[in-house]
Amino acid sequence: MISTTIFPGRYVQGSDAISQLTTEIARLGNFAFAIVDKGVMALVRDTVKTDDKAKIAVEAFNGECSDEEIERIGKRVAAEGANVIAGIGGGKALDTAKAVAHAAGLPVVIVPTLASTDAPCSALSVIYTAEGAFKRYLVLPKNPDVVLVDTTLVVGAPVRLFVAGMGDALSTWFEAEDCKQTGSANMTGRVGSMTAYGLARMCFDTLLADGAAAKAAASQKIVTPEFERIVEANTLLSGLGFESGGLSGAHAIHNGLTALEGTHGYWHGEKVAIGTQSLLMLTKRPREIVNAVYGFCEAIGLPMTLADIGIGDATDEQLLEVAKLACDPADTMGNVPGSVTPKDVVAAIRAADAEGRARKAKQLAA
């Protein structure tokens, strides 16, 4: 059996790392076209500029990773004659940069200003309509050439987004283990390697060891060693773990949950946390693992009940619709060991919710 593991070409992280941007660009070309989120333009204006290493042209991102925006920026890139693409900001700006680089056949440097998902390292762009509705996935032939994470920028983002990133990362080891057990494919269509599964476990261990201290540091806007390690776990370890280890039930349940309107005000990682807790019940993970996961979620403030993601009053009929979507053959529930039915998924979601409610009640009584 052939295994395949994919990585970004280079990962750079640290306080004031954005000062190395032109150095990293210069390894790939001499003129970068930078797509920058409007929300961070003021923060990076003094550092994203031409110097003796590389020229940079800056373009404000319009807000949607759409075919129209990709085409608009692509025309600007061609007119300017740039030979490197850079993306700076949140997920949609970064996905746009990846898609523009792919269309132009140019290298890409990704500079996330949040640690809220594991998407920056991936060979994937999510394409939306100009109005913001999901349209399709664009699977790219390679990962970004450089991912550069300035933790001084990241620590300035809302703490809730940082915690949501930990919620997304929390699923990584469990889903990779499911794929390993069932011999299921990762995002390349092949099985993962020993390295991928090992990094997925490192992601989990790092979250438990440093998550609470990292959140405390983020609350004070302080970059500490614990904060650095969790940024790396959220971004690199989780990215490698999901892409090269594989996905299973936690993300499938997340995808189903998005069908309920009440969840729309909650972040991806917050809903993935509920998916992970449900996956623990679905796959009958050991009690010590269940305790560790719920204890972690409680310590950093991740959702532990359906009410925590806006659907405390969800009916069995509504959850069955969630479960049917989660069990769609096109999703990743099939990577879970055993034969899983929508009714099994509903029971797991209810069991996870009951566990969370019991822990909250105990906490209130203490």
Q: Among 37, 118, 150, 168, which one carries the catalytic annotation?
A: 168
Q: Rounded to whole angstroms, what are the CA distances from 247 to 59, 121, 356, 362? A: 35, 16, 23, 33
- Tokens at residue 362, please? 């105990």
Active site residue 102: no
Q: Residue 290: how many CB atoms within 10 A of its CB?
A: 16
Q: Which helix (H) or strand (E) holds 268?
A: helix 268-282
Active site residue 178: no
How many whole angstroms separate alpha carbon 212 and alpha carbon 155? 15
Check if the beta carbon of residue 61 is closer than 8 Å to that of residue 96. yes
Q: Among 102, 118, 210, 254, which one carries the catalytic annotation?
A: 254
Active site residue 264: no
Q: Among 150, 268, 331, 344, which one carries the catalytic annotation?
A: 268
Active site residue 168: yes
Q: Among 95, 178, 251, 308, which one carries the catalytic annotation?
A: 251
Residues paired with 352 in a beta bridge: none
**Site of tokens 């025309």:** 75
Q: Rounded to whole angstroms, what are the CA distances from 285 to 139, 186, 252, 276? A: 32, 22, 18, 11
How many whole angstroms separate alpha carbon 348 and alpha carbon 180? 21
| Residues assigned a catalytic role | 168, 251, 254, 268
